[in-house]
């Protein structure tokens, strides 16, 4: 009885520390994501000022995305074994130091590239630790709310990046490198309040994690550049090596039991399908604005800023919605929003750009709202000590699947055959192309809804576990 009481007291202490540190972690996460948006806008200017080719300059845009897709999974997996405090101090420390070094050595392009890689890797520690501490140490109502706030913070950073685009392009770009150093103001809070807990004597499966990171790297690099076919050979070798590690290594961070968890695998499949065309939602509206309505890119950016602000608001309220309506209901409503947004955009492509922007907001609201219930349910599908890797793989899927989707979208939007005819007698090549692409997106979203309806029983069972897990399992551990 005394042990149970001690466990309760310890869990409550960790919970209090977690809630104190989360706002500071969120601040660092927003800065990191805002810088990605900013450098996507100014990388060509940097290339010109430092006299490097456009191809080399593009590394400032593509490399952070690749690194982000890898380190999300890596950090969240390591949270099952290593103290969150140690990871945060390392990550934020690297972020601050690299920012200062980059500012003073900004005259060298390759130093800037390395600094941007370190900034992305350092800032993402805050995002990953935020997620893992949320799903491990908060109660069920708090968990849903903070997952929603985290998702809202992402869209806030995107909106700020788009909104500040013109101002950013007019300022001396080297000052951007110094902005992440603002994390120094929350560093003392993170030192004081981030929980210092780690896995119960577990040793890190370094080999398995390195191999898995290699698999993620191959996928991220290939779908960022759509070339380097030889990466598939390396990918195949790594998959074989990883399979052998799972089968033979008793300390493998991914166990056969983990892979046989059907409820978790269904949620991964749902993530993969439902987020497939998320990254395509911005470029397709840029094509529509230019090719269908002849709207200047700056005006399109204003509309997209509004769409991202809507997504931010939806993210903030997605947690309370999950607590009020339930996980399964919010998943259904989110997918219906995607279906409605894609379908009506295809049918009314010639209506008006403001109406299509409203439909885009509905679609993005669907992507935003579905994040909270799926991540919450995915974390509940596995025991507490495995939730770091559970969320890490979810993040990997959310990064890799839309990367594949944007590659598919790029091929579709350039396919002249899609510009000749579509439903409802739409005229104009660009209008036909974008309408047909929207119909394909519509079918993918519909497939997600069908999967949810077919797998209602296993999804509902893990959702029930998500609701009860805090009273039954977390406190006990």
- Asked whether residue 82 is assigned to any structural domain, the reply reads yes
pLDDT tens-digit profile of 48-84? 888 888 778 878 877 787 788 788 888 888 888 888 8
Structural domain tally of the chain? 2
Q: Are residues 175 and 287 in the same domain?
A: no
Q: Are residues 299 and 438 in the same domain?
A: yes
Q: Are residues 322 and 390 in the same domain?
A: yes
pLDDT tens-digit profile of 111-167? 999 999 999 999 999 999 999 899 888 887 888 899 999 999 988 888 887 666 656
Q: Are residues 191 and 265 in the same domain?
A: no
Contact by Cβ (8 Å): 112, 50: yes
409 lies in which domain range?
259-477
Taking the CA atoms of 402, 405, 407 and 412 in sequence, report the sign of the dihedral they define: negative
Q: Kindly report each contact of residues 19-23 with a partner whose C-beta sits within 8 Å and lies 24 or more positions away, as own/partner.
A: 19/138, 19/142, 20/189, 20/193, 21/88, 21/133, 21/189, 21/190, 21/193, 21/194, 21/195, 22/130, 22/133, 22/134, 22/146
- Could you tell me what percent of the chain has a pLDDT over 90? 35
- Could you tell me what percent of the chain has a pLDDT over 70? 91
Contact by Cβ (8 Å): 303, 433: no
In this prediction, residues 256-263 reach a mean pLDDT of 86
- Asked whether residue 75 is assigned to any structural domain, the reply reads yes
Q: Are residues 198 and 89 in the same domain?
A: yes
In this prediction, residues 270-275 reach a mean pLDDT of 93
Residue 411 has pLDDT above 90, yes or no: no
pLDDT tens-digit profile of 169-196? 667 888 889 999 999 999 999 999 888 8
Per-residue confidence (pLDDT) for residue 34, from 0 to 100:
87
In this prediction, residues 269-291 reach a mean pLDDT of 88
Supply 402's token pair: 């839309």
Contact by Cβ (8 Å): 314, 369: yes
CATH code of 85's domain: 1.20.1250.20
Taking the CA atoms of 156, 157, 158 and 159 in sequence, report the sign of the dihedral they define: positive
Q: Are residues 49 and 173 in the same domain?
A: yes
Q: Are residues 195 and 290 in the same domain?
A: no
Contact by Cβ (8 Å): 372, 318: yes
E strands of 369-410, at which residues? none
Q: Are residues 184 and 295 in the same domain?
A: no
- Asked whether residue 353 is assigned to any structural domain, the reply reads yes
Q: Are residues 58 and 186 in the same domain?
A: yes
Residue 294 has pLDDT above 50, yes or no: yes
Least confident stretch, 86-100, 102-116, 219-233, 385-399: 219-233
Per-residue confidence (pLDDT) for residue 421, from 0 to 100:
67
- Asked whether residue 410 is assigned to any structural domain, the reply reads yes
Per-residue confidence (pLDDT) for residue 49, from 0 to 100:
87
Radius of gyration of the chain (CA): 22
Q: Are residues 176 and 265 in the same domain?
A: no
| Number of Cβ within a 10 Å radius of residue 184 | 15
Residue 302 has pLDDT above 90, yes or no: no
Residue 460 has pLDDT above 80, yes or no: no
Provide the pLDDT confidence category of residue 1 given band limits of 50, 70 and 90: very low
Position with higher pLDDT, 95 vs 256: 95
Of 188, 204, 220, the residue that ends a domain is: 204
In sequence order, what are the residues at sequence separation of 6 or more whose Cβ sits closer than 8 angstroms to the Cβ of residue 438?
284, 342, 343, 345, 346, 349
Supply 272's token pair: 């993969």
Provide the pLDDT confidence category of residue 261 given band limits of 50, 70 and 90: confident
- Asked whether residue 215 is assigned to any structural domain, the reply reads no
For the chain, give the mean pLDDT.
85
Per-residue confidence (pLDDT) for residue 169, from 0 to 100:
63
In sequence order, what are the residues at sequence separation of 6 or more whose Cβ sits closer than 8 angstroms to the Cβ of residue 425?
none
Residue 4 has pLDDT above 60, yes or no: no
Task: Report how far residue 70's alpha carbon sits from residue 14's, in angstroms, rounded to the nearest whole number.
Answer: 28
Task: Calculate ∠ Cα 38-32-140, nearest 5°.
Answer: 130
pTM of the model: 0.82
Least confident stretch, 24-33, 140-149, 337-346: 140-149
In sequence order, what are the residues at sequence separation of 6 or more whose Cβ sits closer than 8 angstroms to the Cβ of residue 218?
231, 232, 234, 235, 238
| Number of Cβ within a 10 Å radius of residue 84 | 30
Per-residue confidence (pLDDT) for residue 429, from 0 to 100:
83
Contact by Cβ (8 Å): 273, 449: no
- Asked whether residue 387 is assigned to any structural domain, the reply reads yes
Q: Are residues 200 and 286 in the same domain?
A: no
Provide the pLDDT confidence category of residue 389 given band limits of 50, 70 and 90: confident
Q: Of 410, 437, 322, 313, which is closest to residue 365 (Cα–Cα)?
A: 313
Provide the pLDDT confidence category of residue 476 given band limits of 50, 70 and 90: very low
Q: Of 167, 221, 171, 150, which is closest to residue 379 (Cα–Cα)?
A: 150
- Asked whether residue 286 is assigned to any structural domain, the reply reads yes
In this prediction, residues 423-450 reach a mean pLDDT of 88
Provide the pLDDT confidence category of residue 471 given band limits of 50, 70 and 90: very low
Residue 201 has pLDDT above 60, yes or no: no
Taking the CA atoms of 454, 261, 74 and 208 in sequence, report the sign of the dihedral they define: negative
Provide the pLDDT confidence category of residue 474 given band limits of 50, 70 and 90: very low
- Asked whether residue 247 is assigned to any structural domain, the reply reads no
Of 187, 204, 221, the residue that ends a domain is: 204
Per-residue confidence (pLDDT) for residue 262, from 0 to 100:
87
Of 204, 238, 267, the residue that ends a domain is: 204
Residue 222 has pLDDT above 50, yes or no: yes
Q: Are residues 348 and 438 in the same domain?
A: yes
Task: Report how far residue 374's alpha carbon sits from residue 144's, in angstroms, rounded to the nearest whole number.
Answer: 10
Provide the pLDDT confidence category of residue 475 given band limits of 50, 70 and 90: very low
Position with higher pLDDT, 224 vs 332: 332
Per-residue confidence (pLDDT) for residue 258, from 0 to 100:
83
Position with higher pLDDT, 87 vs 221: 87
Residue where the block lists tokens 């050979």: 233
- Give the dihedral of Cα atoms 376, 379, 382, 383; nearest 10 deg: -110
């Amino acid at each position: 009885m005394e042990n149970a009481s001690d466990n309760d007291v310890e869990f409550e202490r960790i919970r209090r520390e977690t809630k104190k540190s989360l706002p500071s972690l969120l601040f660092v996460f927003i800065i990191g994501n805002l810088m990605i948006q900013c450098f996507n806008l100014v990388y060509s200017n940097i290339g010109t000022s430092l006299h490097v080719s456009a191809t080399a300059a593009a590394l400032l845009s593509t490399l952070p995305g690749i690194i982000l897709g890898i380190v999300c999974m890596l950090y969240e997996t390591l949270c099952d074994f290593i103290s969150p405090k140690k990871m945060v101090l390392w990550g934020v420390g690297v972020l601050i130091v690299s920012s200062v070094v980059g500012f003073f050595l900004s005259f060298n392009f390759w130093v800037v590239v390395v600094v941007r890689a370190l900034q992305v890797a350092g800032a993402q520690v805050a995002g990953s630790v935020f997620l893992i501490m949320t799903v491990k140490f908060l109660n069920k109502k708090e968990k849903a709310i903070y997952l929603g706030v985290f998702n809202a913070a992402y869209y806030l950073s995107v909106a700020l990046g788009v909104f500040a685009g013109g101002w950013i392009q007019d300022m001396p770009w080297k000052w951007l490198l110094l902005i992440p150093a603002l994390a120094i103001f929350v560093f003392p809070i993170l030192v004081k309040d981030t929980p210092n807990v780690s896995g119960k004597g577990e040793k890190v499966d370094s080999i398995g994690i390195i191999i898995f990171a290699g698999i993620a790297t191959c996928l991220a690099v290939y779908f960022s550049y759509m070339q380097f076919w030889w990466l598939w050979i390396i990918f195949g070798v790594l998959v074989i090596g990883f399979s052998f590690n799972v089968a033979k290594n008793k300390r493998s961070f991914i166990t056969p039991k983990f892979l046989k968890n059907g409820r978790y695998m269904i949620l991964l499949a749902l993530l993969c399908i439902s987020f497939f065309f998320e990254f395509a939602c911005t470029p397709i509206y840029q094509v529509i604005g230019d090719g269908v309505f002849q709207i200047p890119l700056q005006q399109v950016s204003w509309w997209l800023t509004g769409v991202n602000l809507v997504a931010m608001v939806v993210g903030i309220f997605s947690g309370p919605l999950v607590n009020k309506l339930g996980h399964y209901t919010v998943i259904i409503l989110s997918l219906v929003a995607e279906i409605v947004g894609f379908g009506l955009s295809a049918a009314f492509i010639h209506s008006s750009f403001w109406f299509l922007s409203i439909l885009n907001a509905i679609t993005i609201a669907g992507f935003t709202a579905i994040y909270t219930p799926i991540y919450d349910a995915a974390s509940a599908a596995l025991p507490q000590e495995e939730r770091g890797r559970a969320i890490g793989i979810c993040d990997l899927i959310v990064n890799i699947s839309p990367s594949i989707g944007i590659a598919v979208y790029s091929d579709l939007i350039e396919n002249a055959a899609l510009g000749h005819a579509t439903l409802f007698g739409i005229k104009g090549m660009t209008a036909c192309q974008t309408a047909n692409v929207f119909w394909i997106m519509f079918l993918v979203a519909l497939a997600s809804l069908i999967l949810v309806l077919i797998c209602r029983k296993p999804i509902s069972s893990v959702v029930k576990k998500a609701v009860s897990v805090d009273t039954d399992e977390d406190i006990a551990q």
